[in-house]
Every structure is written in C-alpha cells, then in structure tokens.
Chain A
Amino acid sequence: MKKYVCNLCGYVYDPADGDKESGIAPGTPFEDIPAGWTCPLCGASKDDFSAE
C-alpha cells in the first residue's frame, strides 16, 4: 500500500499506521479514507496529498 505526503506540511500518511486520532484504523489504504478527512498536522484536505 502506498504512502501519501501532505503537499502543505510534509506529513506522511502511512496505511500501516492509519490515523488513530481521526479513527482511521491501521491497514486503511489512502483511497479508503473518507473524503472529509484532513491532515492531522496542518488540516489540509485529502486532495492536497500526493503519492510518495
């Protein structure tokens, strides 16, 4: 599964870790994250991410 980087702040979404704080379970591919999810560091929206 691909990692995705926030274009705004550099945060890396790693599917292996998910995003606990927003309730994204480990093992969730980036594509399956709900559209309303935002970067946990800077609040950027999902379309501000690009594949690493």
Chain B
Amino acid sequence: MKLVELKKGIYWVGAVDWNIRDFHGYSTWEGTTYNSYLMVGDKITLFDGVKNEYTDTLIARISEIIDPSKIDYLVVNHVEPDHSGAIPQLVEIIKPEKIFCSDMGQKALAGHYHYSEWPYQVVKSGEEVMLGNRKVIFQEARMLHWPDSMLAYLPDEKLLISNDAFGEHLATVERFDDEVDNSRLMGQAAKYYANILWPYSPLVQKIIKTVVDLKWDFDMIAPDHGVIWRKNPGQIISAYAKWSDCQAGNRVLVVYESMWKSTEKMAAQITHGLADAGLDVRQYRLELNHRSDIIADFLEARGLVLGSPTLNNQFMPQMADFLSYLRGLKPGKKIGAAFGSYGWSGEAVRQMNECLENMNFQLADQGLRHQWVPTREVLRSCYELGGRVAQEVKNYRFE
C-alpha cells in the first residue's frame, strides 16, 4: 500500500473498517475508519490507536515505515475503545517511554485496562511539549465528547490532530477531503455531529472560541475518523459553528409510527400541508428508518411533528426509543407538534406533547387526535395542522 504522508514525516497509519454497521446504536451504513498518526523525528510518536481488532493492521502499517518497537511516545487523545483498544498490545510491543494523556484520560485508561504502572505523562490544557525536535500543544476538550478528550496542535506543521471532533463515519480508500464527494462527506459529518456532539454544542462554541483566541494557525485537520481536511478545513469548522449555534432552515420532519395505518394517513396529510406551505418536509416511519439517520436529518430542521397511535395507554415503543434518544441529544430551538389516531383512551398525543415540552420545544399547536379511522374532515384538519406548523416555522425568529 502507498504510504500516506500528510505532513513531512507524519503518516496516516490507521485502519479502514468497511464492515461496521452499528456503532453503539448509531447506524454506520458507510463503515468508518480509525485514524492513527505516526510522527517521525528525533523521537517517534504515535497519536491515537485503533479499535482492538485492527491492532495488527495498525502494526503492519507502522512496520512499512519503521520498526514499531522504535516508537518512543504514545499520545492518547481519547480513551474510547475505538481508539484505545490497541493500546495495551502496543504498550507491550513498544514499551513506550511515555504515554501522554489528560488527567481524566489517565483515569479512564486505568479504568479500562487496569495498568497502574504504565508510564503515564499527564499533560495540562495548553501545555507545550517537545516530542524530540517536534513541538506539540495539548488542549483539553472536555466532554467533546468524553471527559478525557484532548486536541493536539502541531504549530510548526500547521496541523491539528482533533480526535473525534471534525470526523465522520465513512469508510473510503481516499484519505483526504478533496478526494471524496463533498455532499456525501458533509452529510456524514452532519450525522456525526448530530449523534455524537450535539448535546455538547455550548462546549463546541467554547472550544472554537478558544482556538480562535489562541490564534492557532493550521491548514490541516486530522481527525480520528474519516478523511483528513487538507483542502478546506474551514468548511468543517464553519459547519460546527453553525450546528452548535442551533441554526436551522425551513425544514420539518414528520416522524411517526402506526398500527393500522390511521396515523399514517394523518401523517401523509400533515406532510402535504407542510409541503404546500413551501417547507422542506421529510416523512419518516420509525420502524423503517434508523434513529441515527432521522437525527442526522433533524440537525438542520426547525420543526418536528410526532405521530403515534395509543397502545395500552402509551405511545408506541418505537416512539419511546426515538424520544429517549432525542432527549439525550438536547436539541435546542425547535418547534414541535403531535398527532395520532386511537381506539379508546388516546393518551399518546398528550404524552408526546409533554415529551416535547420537557425537551424545551415550542409547541406549535395543541395537537390532533382522532378516534379510529380518520374521515375526510379529519384528514382536512391534518392538512391544516401542517399549514399551522409551517407558519410557526416561518415566523420563528432567532433570539
């Protein structure tokens, strides 16, 4: 395989995982990569590892450049096992002089692998360290997206090794942003943000500000998943600035589940009503779509219309799954409404309204519920509900 040298003496030595489809509940239908970076100088440093089962791939890749046992330093920017899984075996082979990590990183490494005698070198936020003749500045990025997360900035190389931030789950043979179709790339980057970083948006804003204040000057971002941003690193930074600021367009999702198609008929009319009012509307039946894909699409949407029949006094379990997942992601500045058909008790609409309010959604309507199969008049009111939600979305003003 051709060597991938991103900066002088800095190589990509990671692994491409074409086969992963489920990443703790996130549907990775385009696979992913675990990126690891080898820096050769007076001292040899490896930035981040790979998932455990790709340790051999990583070692083989390093061996094409140097004898892995010559590595002096390991940098662990993030302890989640998709990056640190290889670390125990690497420590055995390399016998590193130092393992650089954050304070929380040391605790997490000890908690995962139970080696207290490893040569941990805890670095503080903003600490400048010489790795042989090459300078690196570490910056903590707590809860982006774990307590241990760090960024490594190499000022002389104008390179930012960003760990999970700015990455995407996308398996490709290409290693750089300019080699991959941009809309495919940004679609996966948005999905990554929505599913992993969304709840920490205020911290994303903070870290972007920190990086600007520190006047870090880089022309390349090397994340630990997906491609390296060499042509347009500004693109992903501005996207993060936008997403973390809850900026959204005139998009509304109609997300529903149905038992005997009554709620589905209502969904269809609400979708029509929204579309005729000129909105970008997308309809998702929960059973047929993965929660992580719906969430990806919701990131830049303003409105969410939820539909569910009432099953044994509750909304459908698929809706419970979706709402529990959504709640954890703490979406901000959204508008919501609910609807559904029911047989006798009909609690679902009220329950969905409560969930929306608990997530600080602005309710666009008190909601619409109908007993048994919708009549033409009811379908007409569904269409009108779509129109009312559309109006609220259009009138929404960023405060």
Contacts and interface: CB of A to CB of B under 8 A. Distances in A.
Contacts of A9: 143, 147
A41 interface: yes
Nearest to B144: A8
A25 interface: no
A41 B143 CA distance: 11
A10 to B, nearest CB: 9
A41 B107 CA distance: 10
B103 interface: yes
Contacts of A41: 147
Given A8-B143, A9-B147, A43 B203 contact: no
B202 A42 contact: no
B205 to A, nearest CB: 13
Secondary structure dominating the interface of B: helix
B202 A43 contact: no
B293 to A, nearest CB: 26
Interface in A31-52: 41-44
The number of chain A residues touching the other chain, given as a range, is under 10
Nearest to A7: B202
Most buried by A among B103, B147, B200, B202: B147
Interface string B195-210: 0000010110000000
A22 to B, nearest CB: 13
B10 to A, nearest CB: 29
Contacts, number: 19
A11 to B, nearest CB: 10
Interface in B142-170: 142-143, 147
B203 A8 contact: yes
A44 B202 CA distance: 14
B104 interface: yes
A42 B203 contact: no
Interface in B111-167: 142-143, 147
Interface string B178-209: 00000000000000000000001011000000
Contacts of A43: 103-104, 142, 147
Interface in B185-238: 200, 202-203
Nearest to B146: A42
A42 B108 CA distance: 10
B146 to A, nearest CB: 8
Contacts of B143: 8-9, 42, 44
Most buried by A among B103, B142, B143, B202: B143
Interface in B374-395: none
A17 to B, nearest CB: 20
B104 to A, nearest CB: 5
A8 B204 CA distance: 11
Contacts of A7: 202
A7 B104 CA distance: 17
B127 to A, nearest CB: 15
A44 B143 CA distance: 9
A43 B203 CA distance: 14
A37 to B, nearest CB: 14
B78 to A, nearest CB: 14
Interface in B82-112: 103-104
16 contacts: A7-B202, A8-B142, A8-B143, A8-B147, A8-B203, A9-B143, A9-B147, A41-B147, A42-B104, A42-B142, A42-B147, A43-B103, A43-B142, A43-B147, A44-B142, A44-B143
Closest 3 pairs (CB-CB, A-B): A42-B147, A8-B143, A43-B104
